[in-house]
Amino acid sequence: MLWTLLLAALQGHVALGLAVTASSITISPSPTSEPSTTSGQWLIISGTSIFWPTYTDYFYGPTTGPEAPVVTCNAKWVEYYGRSDGLRSLGPTGTSITFDPYPTSGGACRTSSSLEGYSDTHTGPVTTLCDGIPRALGPREMVTSYYPGTGPCSTYTITFTDTVELYREPPAPDCELNTQECIPIWSTYSELSSSYDATATTVTPGDTKSPIPPDGCPSTTRTYPEDPCTACHFLPGTATVFYWPVTTAGGDLCLQNGTTIPATPTGNGPNTAVVNGQTFVSPSIYVSFTSIYAWSNRRAHPGSQCGDTHNDAIIAVDPASVSSVRNHRNAKYPTIGTAYPFNFAEFMPQDVGNYTMPLIPWPQYRGGSQCPLYDPSCTMIRDDYMPFLDVPEAVRQIDPLWTQCDAHWYIPPVTLVPLTGNVNVQPTPTAEANVMAAMAVPESVAAVPTPEATGW
């Protein structure tokens, strides 16, 4: 009856819009005292036997001398946790219910704008080519999102109800233990436990010779002395690929049978381009990382770093050795995608009606980082393609400790920037390209804007 009256009063306050403060009620156990007796390691309470250890049976060390207080303190915590578990096995003795009102809102109270993504409805012009996949023409549109919903904004108060079950509790010890003091405690426990396991043929409940773990004693952190560089993976920051544009003549988008035309020569010998003071030489492509480092492969603990963190790193790579990876996802347990050779001709702008845009084939687009692996709502090709780049082998030149690191675990989605006539191009007298590795990242590419950072 009391519970019904309290709940009705609370609901009435909310309905009238009156201020409601946090409150609680406790339903106490009906029997305030229960008959109990003890027998050895057991407590019989209300006809039920529960494990009832006594601390004097669990001294994990000397009981005299300077170590005695720590040994005794630990034994009392062993007793406490053992008795607490036994009492909890009897079930709750009561319930505490707390009511906590807080304000919330509904409708379009907040807005945010962003470029459209795979799940947004595209309202601009669309075309469908031979592959049958709709393509959004032109740049992506801005999309406005409303939070927490749609319709007129309104604010109101709701009440959160938290129910906590109450259990019997034995008195807790008034002493504390620290990690250093507990090292010999854990060592002694391990020895006693191993000895008991080796000699005991049967395990008897309540056997005082069976050691109980000293859970009240903080244990030392496990150390991993292994070299993290023997099993590691790369963790790259934002990556950009600078490449020499390649075009195709004729052919069909779906058949992919056009004739490849290499970049226009800038003079005798290989093409060169100056990017923020760095000379890029064809046919090498250049991959820059805002940062890159390597980490051990251990998942069960935080692990440790292999080598140094390298900021603003750039490597030169043979374009034939570069792979894009489709249907990959970076994670603690990654989904390893399928590697394919990069076809840089796919990124060249094509005229489609009044628009100029790259015609990325659907398999490449669907396998890129902008489409979730298993979400069926990614059905349209937009101007947001960011392929995953398999970390090139040349990245190992950055740090001599990275020889054994996995290049396929965490891989970066990349922005691609063509080295076109918009950059500061200079002819070179040499007839052979130099494949270089340097430690600088371009801040700009002459008239080509610096790609914005993208997270993954």
Residue 242's SS3 state is: strand
Residue 356's SS3 state is: strand
- Residue 232, beta-bridge partner list: 296
Nearest in space to 210 (alpha carbons), one of 198, 226, 224: 198
Nearest in space to 360 (alpha carbons), one of 66, 135, 70: 135
- As a whole number of angstroms, the distance between CA 159 and CA 163 comes to 13
- Identify whether residues 302 and 393 lie together within a single domain: yes
Residue 84's SS3 state is: helix
Nearest in space to 290 (alpha carbons), one of 330, 241, 243, 236: 236
- Identify whether residues 289 and 413 lie together within a single domain: yes
Residues of the chain with pLDDT under 70: 1-35, 39, 221-225, 248-269, 421-456
pTM: 0.61
Residue 160's SS3 state is: strand
- As a whole number of angstroms, the distance between CA 154 and CA 166 comes to 38
- Asked which of 154, 183, 199 is the last residue of a domain, the reply is 199
- In a domain, residue 47? The reply is yes
In this prediction, residue 254 carries a pLDDT of: 63
- As a whole number of angstroms, the distance between CA 84 and CA 172 comes to 9
- As a whole number of angstroms, the distance between CA 263 and CA 443 comes to 24
- Identify whether residues 9 and 79 lie together within a single domain: yes
Phi and psi dihedrals of 221, rounded to 5? -70, 135
- As a whole number of angstroms, the distance between CA 387 and CA 415 comes to 8
- In a domain, residue 191? The reply is yes
- Identify whether residues 192 and 256 lie together within a single domain: no
Edge-first strand order for the sheet with 154-166 is 23-27, 94-106, 154-166
In this prediction, residue 201 carries a pLDDT of: 82
In this prediction, residue 226 carries a pLDDT of: 73
Phi and psi dihedrals of 262, rounded to 5? -70, 170
pLDDT tens sequence across 417-445: 999 755 544 443 333 333 333 323 333 33
Nearest in space to 316 (alpha carbons), one of 290, 280, 344: 280
Per the prediction, the chain carries an average pLDDT of 81
Around Cβ 378, how many Cβ atoms within 10 Å? 18
Q: Considering its fold, how many domains does the chain have in total?
A: 2
Around Cβ 20, how many Cβ atoms within 10 Å? 19
- In a domain, residue 444? The reply is no
- Residue 339, beta-bridge partner list: 325
CA–CA distance from 3 to each of 27, 31, 105 (Å)? 9, 19, 29
- As a whole number of angstroms, the distance between CA 68 and CA 195 comes to 23
- In a domain, residue 265? The reply is yes
In this prediction, residue 31 carries a pLDDT of: 45
- In a domain, residue 422? The reply is yes
- In a domain, residue 58? The reply is yes
Kindly give the interhelix angle for 68-88 and 179-199, rounded to the nearest 10 degrees: 70
- As a whole number of angstroms, the distance between CA 455 and CA 418 comes to 22
Block residue for tokens 């406490």 = 80
- Identify whether residues 338 and 277 lie together within a single domain: yes
- Residue 248, beta-bridge partner list: 260
Q: Are 284 and 432 spatial neighbours (Cβ–Cβ below 8 Å)? A: no
- In a domain, residue 141? The reply is no
- Identify whether residues 400 and 277 lie together within a single domain: yes
Nearest in space to 340 (alpha carbons), one of 328, 330, 325, 329: 325
Block residue for tokens 């950072």 = 453
- Identify whether residues 176 and 301 lie together within a single domain: no
The residues, ordered by sequence, that sit 6+ positions from 359 with a Cβ below 8 Å of its Cβ are: 129, 135, 253, 346, 350, 352
pLDDT tens sequence across 113-172: 999 999 999 999 999 998 899 999 999 999 999 999 889 999 999 998 999 999 999 999
- In a domain, residue 456? The reply is no
- Identify whether residues 173 and 317 lie together within a single domain: no
Question: Within a 13 Å sphere around the CA of 379, how many CA atoms are in the beta-carbon half?
Answer: 8
- Identify whether residues 247 and 326 lie together within a single domain: yes
Q: Are 339 and 392 spatial neighbours (Cβ–Cβ below 8 Å)? A: no
- Identify whether residues 316 and 174 lie together within a single domain: no
- Identify whether residues 195 and 335 lie together within a single domain: no
The structure tokens listed for 347 are: 């990124």
H or E element, residue 85: helix 68-88
Q: Are 217 and 74 spatial neighbours (Cβ–Cβ below 8 Å)? A: yes
- Identify whether residues 87 and 174 lie together within a single domain: yes
Domain containing 414 equals: 228-342+387-438
Q: Are 282 and 436 spatial neighbours (Cβ–Cβ below 8 Å)? A: no
